[in-house]
Amino acid sequence: MDTPCKPSLIRHFGRRWAPLLLLVSCLAPFAAGAVPSFSRQTGVACGGCHVGGFGPQLTAFGREFKIGGYTLGSGKGTPLSVMDVESFTQTKKDQPEEAGPHDGTNNNFSIQEVSLFLAGDLGAHVGSFTQVTYSDIDRKVVMDNMDLRYATPVHWGNHPGQFGVSVNNNPGIQDPWNSSAAWRFPYIASELVPEAGVSTLLEGGLAQQVLGATAYAFLDGKYYGELGFYQSLPSSVLRTLNADDSGSLSGLTPYYRLDYTLGGKGYSLSFGLTGLDARLHPDRQSGPTDHYRDLGADLSYQYLAGSSYVIAVDASAIHETQNRDAAYAAGDAEHAGGHIDSFNIDASYYRTHYGVSLGYFDRTGDHDALLYQAAPLEGSRTGKPDSAGTIVQVDWTPFGQSDSWKSPWANLRLGVQYTAYSKFNGAGHDYDGYGRNAADNDTLFLFLWNAF
Establish if 1 belongs to a structural domain.
Answer: no
Q: What is the CA radius of gyration of the chain?
A: 21
Burial class (CB in 10 A: 0-12, 13-18, 19+), 81: buried
CA dist., res. 4 & res. 448, Å (int):
47
For residue 140, list its beta bridge partners.
135
Q: Which of 147, 148, 153 is nearest to 68 (CA)?
A: 153
The DSSP bridge pattern shows strands 309-324 and 411-423 to be: unpaired
Burial class (CB in 10 A: 0-12, 13-18, 19+), 6: exposed
Domain count, the chain: 1
Establish if 237 belongs to a structural domain.
Answer: yes
Establish if 44 belongs to a structural domain.
Answer: yes
CA dist., res. 60 & res. 177, Å (int):
9
Establish if 4 belongs to a structural domain.
Answer: no
Establish if 158 belongs to a structural domain.
Answer: yes
User: What per-residue confidence (pLDDT) applies to 21?
Assistant: 36
Identify the CATH number of the domain in which residue 145 sits.
2.40.160.10
Establish if 3 belongs to a structural domain.
Answer: no
Domain range spanning residue 181? Answer: 9-451
CA dist., res. 182 & res. 203, Å (int):
7
* CB 58 within 8 Å of CB 66: yes
State yes or no: cis peptide before 408, omega within 30 of 0.
yes
Establish if 352 belongs to a structural domain.
Answer: yes
Torsion of CA 39, 44, 48, 51, to 10 degrees: 20
Residues 6+ apart with CB under 8 A from 9: none
pTM over 0.75: yes
Establish if 28 belongs to a structural domain.
Answer: yes
User: What per-residue confidence (pLDDT) applies to 45?
Assistant: 61
CA dist., res. 422 & res. 192, Å (int):
19
pLDDT tens-digit profile, the chain (452 residues): 333 333 333 333 333 333 333 333 333 333 344 555 555 565 566 667 778 777 788 888 889 989 998 887 555 656 677 889 999 999 999 999 999 999 999 999 999 999 987 777 778 899 888 788 999 899 999 888 899 999 999 998 889 999 999 999 999 999 999 999 999 999 999 999 999 878 999 999 999 999 999 999 999 999 999 999 999 999 999 999 899 999 999 999 999 999 999 988 889 999 999 999 999 999 998 899 999 999 999 999 999 876 688 999 999 999 999 999 999 999 999 999 999 999 999 999 998 889 999 999 999 999 999 999 999 999 999 999 999 999 999 999 887 565 655 555 667 899 999 999 999 999 999 999 999 999 999 999 999 998 87
